[in-house]
Amino acid sequence: MRRTSLVLVGGACLFAAASANASIEYRVSIDKSAGELRVAACADRDYARLELRAQDGANGYLLGFSRSDGGAVARSGDRLLARAVPDGACVNYRIAAARATRSNGRDEGMQTADGSWIVSPGVWLWRADEAGVLRLDLPAGMRASLPWRPRDASRTTYVLEAGGGDWPAWAAFGNVDERIVAGGDGTELRIAVVDAPSRQRADDLHGWLREVANATLTAYRRFPVRSAQVLVIEIGSNSSSPVPWGQTTRGAGVAVELFVRRDASLKELRADWTAIHEFSHFFHPYLGNSGRWLSEGLASYYQNVLRARAGIVSEAYAWERLDAGFGRGRNSATGVSLADISRAPRRRHSRQSGGWPVMRIYWGGAAFWLEADIALHRERGIGLEDVLAAYSQCCLPEAGRVDPDAFIARLDALSQSTVFSRLARQHSTAAHFPSLQSSYATLGLRVESDRAVLSSDADAVALRNKIMGERIAPTAFGAR
């Protein structure tokens, strides 16, 4: 375990408090043949007014509702309202879960190859805003992957934080093969493969993601999140990418969804960057659109650095991929700054990929993190991962948005430097992609005909090793 001398700057742990006063218990069971999820939302104190809320449009999947004490329940759109609910009474409701998976509405459910259900919790869990617990009672042969943190090793009771019901998240029920990858300090990834066609394929997918998860552990030996859900869903696709789509969601705890091409070989998957990119999003809080260059930049930087550290790719290859990315960023959205791009309404970028100049944002952000990493090593004798480790210990919330300026200020304070604010100002206000010439010179890096040429200068080698080399014994924070 790392010994650190943390600089705590009022870093309240935002995620510890919410679960202590759970007062609604949601008992969830399944009638597979009826295609229904059944929920009993039970009070453990008297409620003058109990309101259970679902996501927009969930109304159509509510099949019926009642109260265990015979009292009234009123429905108003996507809300159920019960008054004078005594301690121990439950509001019972039934949800057409199988139908939700066939909605083809991206927000409601997804149909899988073998009939497992993937349903948004906002559709099936009509819940109060306050914290609660969810208890799962599954029929024989059915297993689940849920987005919330399990309360204990039995993995049948989950902790529902207060609020958090409005952002996307997914729950999977059916042929779900969930396996745990443990990191330091009790952190874990709950990796769930849905509807694998064979045991061998499930083993391959889990082996691949265990390798990727372990690559993220090369940063500071534990995951930045306590318990994250990773859903792996195979799809038919003509995409050249073995992982045509991946995303990180923070609707009910941090989660990653990876859509894997059904015919992707293990070799193709190991060579792909999508999974490590998504896992790298664990290192930062949600920063909103204005912080997108920081969040996508960090994931784009680490998708190369962490794979090199873990030995999945060579150091030279990682530099080549970073350099190629910088080249794409340099050719995108010239003449406007990252700050301008972040402020501008999305439609202003409508001619480029989904409304955003994606390459400029991703690789402009990656250039910032590379230069921050170099500056930290030179000025403070520490690496970016040391600062992110300290941030995750004191300050990283698992839900809610953090203002990008506040994030940068906190990283400055933790590193006892002005590296982050100084470089963020430079990088965000420059109208063109930065020249990385002096950073390349410091690294002893040239790229000729797409091939990295690495100098043998001792200082350059040492710096490159600190960035790309595996850190078997991480340096103590603040040590020179």
Judged by CB under 5 A, does residue 85 bind Zn ion?
A: no
Structure tokens at 470: 């595996």
Q: Phi then psi for 14, rounded to 5 degrees?
A: -75, -20
Which tokens belong to 268? 């193709």
Taking CB positions, which residue lies at the least distance from Zn ion? 299
Query: Which parts of 289-308 interact with Zn ion (CB under 5 A)?
Result: 296, 299
Largest Cα–Cα separation, the chain: 80
Asked if residues 397 and 163 have their Cβ atoms less than 8 Å apart, the reply is no
43 vs 287 by CB, closer to Zn ion: 287
Bridge partners of residue 230, in order along the sequence: 191, 256
Amino acid at 217: L
Alpha-carbon distance of 146 to 126, in angstroms, equals 15
Name the minimum Å distance from CB 363 to Zn ion. 12
Q: Which is nearer to Zn ion, 227 or 300 (CB)?
A: 300
How far, in whole angstroms, is CA 38 from its chain's centroid?
Answer: 29
To 5 degrees, how large is the angle CA 319–CA 322–CA 328?
140
Beta carbons of 173 and 117 less than 8 angstroms apart: yes
What is the spatial distance between Cα 368 and Cα 371, in angstroms, rounded to a whole number? Answer: 5
Q: Closer to Zn ion at the Cβ: 299 or 467?
A: 299
Cα–Cα dist 264/241, whole Å: 8
**Which residue, 134 or 299, is less far from Zn ion as judged by CB?**
299
- Beta carbon of residue 255, minimum distance to Zn ion (angstroms, whole number): 14
As measured in angstroms, the least distance from the Cβ of 299 to Zn ion is: 4
By beta-carbon proximity to Zn ion, the closer residue of 30 and 299 is: 299
CB of 296 to Zn ion, least distance (A): 5
Residues pairing with 149 in the sheet = 159
H helix or E strand, kind and range, residue 465: helix 458-468
DSSP for residue 291: G
Please identify, using beta-carbon distances, which residue of 281 and 377 lies nearer to Zn ion. Answer: 281
Minimum separation from the CB atom of position 276 to Zn ion (A) = 11
Show the tokens assigned to 452: 């990295």
Q: In whole angstroms, what is the distance from residue 109 CA to residue 103 CA? A: 6
Closer residue to Zn ion (CB): 65 or 362: 362
Q: Which is nearer to Zn ion, 148 or 279 (CB)?
A: 279
Residues 379-408, one symbol each (x = binds Zn ion by CB under 5 A, - = not), give: ------------------------------
Please state, in angstroms and rounded to a whole number, the distance separating the CA atoms of residues 435 and 346.
Answer: 26
Size of the site for Zn ion (CB under 5 A): 2
Whole-angstrom Cα distance, residue 419 to residue 380? 9
Which string of x and - marks every residue 133-162 that binds Zn ion (by CB under 5 A)? ------------------------------
Q: Closest Cα to residue 162, out of 282, 49, 17, 47?
A: 17
In angstroms, give the least distance from the CB of 278 to Zn ion. 7
What x/- string results for residues 257 through 296 when contact with Zn ion is judged by CB under 5 A?
Answer: ---------------------------------------x
Nearer to Zn ion, 172 or 299 (CB): 299
Nearer to Zn ion, 213 or 299 (CB): 299
Please state the closest distance from residue 281 (CB atom) to Zn ion, in A: 6
Tell me the closest approach of the beta carbon of residue 292 to Zn ion, in angstroms.
9
Of 381, 374, 349, 391, nearest in space to 439 by CA: 374
Nearer to Zn ion, 353 or 429 (CB): 353
Q: How far is the CB of 8 from Zn ion (least distance, A)?
A: 29
Q: How far is the CB of 256 from Zn ion (least distance, A)?
A: 10
| Residue of 255, 246, 235, 236 whose CA lies nearest to 274 | 246
- Binding residues for Zn ion restricted to 299-358, rule: CB under 5 A: 299
Closest approach, Cβ 346 to Zn ion, in A, equals 17
Query: What residue type is assigned to position 128 of the chain?
Result: A
Closest CA to 399 of 109, 162, 152: 162
Using CB under 5 A as the criterion, which residues of the chain lie in contact with Zn ion when the complex forms?
296, 299
